[in-house]
């Protein structure tokens, strides 16, 4: 199938690393917004009703569902997930990086420290 003009243009723009990074970030915000809106809709709730359950404003729910918003806190995402009978799952993935010849590994090695016992988040 032949590429559209937009697909051709996007492929060209994605060759620019700065554009590709901005595009990736926008996609992540879009994914969060779509998931929240879809879960709310599946639950049969309006933004105002979800806001009431969360103890916040309809405007805040609208912000959470906006693909331009990047101020999501983990605690708010957990509250939303709980209210919509879901769970939050965050995955850190290694970035694909091609090592250039000039980027040989450094001879520096960090000393390993014995970790201190951590306190539980519940305390």
Q: What is the mean pLDDT of the chain?
A: 81
Confidence of residue 121 (pLDDT cuts 50, 70, 90): very low
Element (H or E) spanning 78, and its range?
helix 74-83
Q: What does the pLDDT look like over 66-93, one tens digit per residue?
A: 988 888 999 999 999 999 999 999 888 8
Q: What is the CATH architecture of 5-91?
A: Orthogonal Bundle (1.10)
- How many Cβ atoms are within 10 Å of 83's Cβ, its own excluded? 19
Residue 116 has pLDDT above 60, yes or no: no
How far is the C-alpha of 67 from the C-alpha of 59, rounded, in Å? 14
Q: pLDDT at position 59, please?
A: 97
Q: pLDDT at position 123, please?
A: 43
Residue 107 has pLDDT above 70, yes or no: no
Confidence of residue 94 (pLDDT cuts 50, 70, 90): confident
Residue 117 has pLDDT above 60, yes or no: no
Domain ranges within the chain, ordered by starting residue: 5-91
Q: Determine the average pLDDT of the residues in 49-75.
A: 94
Cα torsion angle, 17, 18, 19, 23, sign: positive
CA distances from 82 to 23, 77, 86, 98, 112 (A): 30, 9, 6, 40, 38
């Amino acid at each position: 199938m032949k590429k559209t003009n937009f697909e051709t243009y996007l492929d060209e723009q994605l060759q620019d690393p700065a554009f590709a990074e901005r595009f990736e970030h926008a996609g992540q915000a879009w994914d969060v917004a779509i998931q929240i809106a879809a879960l709310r809709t599946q639950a049969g709730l309006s933004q105002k009703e979800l806001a009431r359950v969360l103890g916040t404003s309809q405007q805040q729910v609208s912000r959470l569902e906006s693909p331009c918003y990047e101020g999501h806190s983990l605690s708010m995402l957990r509250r939303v997930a709980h209210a919509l009978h879901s769970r939050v799952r965050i995955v850190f993935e290694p970035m694909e990086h091609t090592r250039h010849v000039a980027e040989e590994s450094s001879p520096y090695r960090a000393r390993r420290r014995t970790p201190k016992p951590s306190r539980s988040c519940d305390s």
